[in-house]
A and B are shown apart, each in its own frame.
Chain A
């Protein structure tokens, strides 16, 4: 099949403002991934096209972008999920709410700053167990936060959120998911501090339960649910 990629391009060193550029590719297999098409454009047609990717297998989270109007990972989207027929147009643009550095590359620093602000690390100052092995936890306790361990920090959720589009001070779904992962970990001792950070005006309360984030997550994390659980923990003043 033939696919036209409509890509939102911008090079701040030479363009006044972003523009759409079309690239036509022949002999596309319906099972090709969008990332492969981007590679073909870059390698066969226009070497100046810029985008991030690393693992190409949905693990590193570098290639989040807006594909046909929805945030996803280019390396996880098959062409045949975007349409059928002999000719297809696929529209690709950078994530929204973060500054565009070039073409599909956005400045992730504000995103990571929010991530760091929720203490996304294990806190427990008790001495380690006598036997020198790991701190044990029941399977049920581990299950409690299993879902939110899956986050790869691709920013698809945060940049799908209308609250974040309006206001980049909002910590955003990804940071809250990361906080959830530690808040509900029975071995961690800093839940209270994290809940305090998340209770601020720019924390969880900016979430309006729109569910764009849940739909966008390439790891199928139940994002809005995790945010909801954090809200309840704050409102009730306790983790369960």
Chain B
């Protein structure tokens, strides 16, 4: 923890230039997005496995707390993506370093340029939603469901710490987790390549989920034509919305499943490896370092398995029915 405390206080005290602040923001936004992604993929898998829980999750995403969070999320993704492009460019053209300051200012400007109209549209959706007489999840409901996630994280951490402690006792190892140079180089390249590939995928995803239709359209809008498909959301449930997208075929190919699968794999590995960079910077105690590295390694596998299983399983009429029942029970 001292490593983290020193970094925070001294980053504030050191008179670094704009590059230092871009790094702080890149790290914070990356961290924010990966935490969201973990919740998001687990939630989304419920559309396939626990339809009524998915319905509840989307109800909660439509509540004020998450609406605010959504603005931060979109801002984070946009800044991280554009700044990521700057980093990638300078990595492959190190001799262009003299432009790094101007490039960073350009990233800030472009981020604003993208965010202003995006926020305007999102605000429009938001105002329309909150001025309608739609049903909104209460804070109690949110605390109830989301505390499960917090507990989940705590359990994973405690288990990882305990295992790491045991391992330390048995093997007397004083090494943190270190990958070989070959792996480090591969992952470095992966971060760059995946970043460039994620960019259009995630921007596309956000255009669908925030601009064309919003979180507020996923559930509760009867007879809505689901974005990116020809299907009508008959039941107005979130589960049917997702099911319709996953079942949509273009020339016999389930394009949205492939799209989601690509985004899932690319972003999960990118985000968890980013998490590893952060952990290896600040978790200096061997015991904690090993625990967190293990949690990251198994975490990324688990997340991809859960997400892929949901994409393969999909959602059908039975699931829509369960979701409808759940909705009528809360209303």
Q: A196–B19 contact, CB under 8 A?
A: no
* A24 on interface, CB distance cutoff 8 Å: no
Within 8 A of B (CB), among A201-225: 201-203, 205-206, 208-212, 214-215, 222, 224-225
Q: A70–B15 contact, CB under 8 A?
A: yes
CB distance from A235 to the nearest CB of B (A): 5
Q: B281–A166 contact, CB under 8 A?
A: yes
CB distance from B13 to the nearest CB of A (A): 6
* A229 on interface, CB distance cutoff 8 Å: yes
Question: Which of B58-66, B90-98, B124-132, B222-230 contacts the other chain?
Answer: B90-98
Within 8 A of A (CB), among B1-38: 3-4, 6-7, 10-11, 13-17, 19-20, 22-23, 26-27
Q: Tell me the bound Cα distance from A231 to B88 in angstroms.
A: 12
Residues of A within 8 A of B97 (CB): 211, 214, 222, 224-225, 228
Q: Tell me the bound Cα distance from A99 to B161 in angstroms.
A: 30
* B317 on interface, CB distance cutoff 8 Å: no
Within 8 A of A (CB), among B170-196: 178-182, 184-185, 188-189
Contact of B6 among A69, A166, A196, A202 (CB under 8 A): A166
Contact of A201 among B6, B101, B178, B284 (CB under 8 A): B178
Residues of A within 8 A of B10 (CB): 96, 162, 165
Q: Tell me the bound Cα distance from A232 to B284 in angstroms.
A: 28
Q: Tell me the bound Cα distance from A163 to B184 in angstroms.
A: 16
The size bracket of the interface on B is 35 or more
Given contact pairs A166-B282, A212-B20, A232 touches B92 in the complex (Cβ within 8 A): yes
Q: Tell me the bound Cα distance from A48 to B279 in angstroms.
A: 41
Within 8 A of B (CB), among A74-110: 96
CB distance from A132 to the nearest CB of B (A): 38
Residues of B within 8 A of A229 (CB): 94
CB distance from B1 to the nearest CB of A (A): 11
Q: A200–B181 contact, CB under 8 A?
A: yes
CB distance from B24 to the nearest CB of A (A): 8
Q: B90–A69 contact, CB under 8 A?
A: no
* A199 on interface, CB distance cutoff 8 Å: yes
Given contact pairs A162-B23, A166-B4, A205 touches B184 in the complex (Cβ within 8 A): yes
Residues of B within 8 A of A226 (CB): 94
B15's nearest neighbour on chain A, judged by CB, is: A69
* B100 on interface, CB distance cutoff 8 Å: yes
Q: Show 18 residue pairs from A and B whose CB-CB distance is below 8 angstroms, ordered by the A residue.
A: A66-B14, A69-B14, A96-B14, A162-B20, A162-B23, A166-B6, A166-B282, A200-B184, A212-B16, A212-B17, A215-B16, A215-B17, A224-B94, A225-B94, A228-B91, A231-B94, A234-B185, A235-B188
CB-CB nearest 5 A-B residue pairs: A228-B94, A199-B181, A69-B15, A211-B19, A225-B94
Residues of A within 8 A of B (CB): 66, 68-70, 96, 160, 162-163, 165-167, 196, 199-203, 205-206, 208-212, 214-215, 222, 224-229, 231-232, 234-235
Residues of B within 8 A of A (CB): 3-4, 6-7, 10-11, 13-17, 19-20, 22-23, 26-27, 87, 90-92, 94-95, 97, 100-101, 178-182, 184-185, 188-189, 277, 280-282, 284
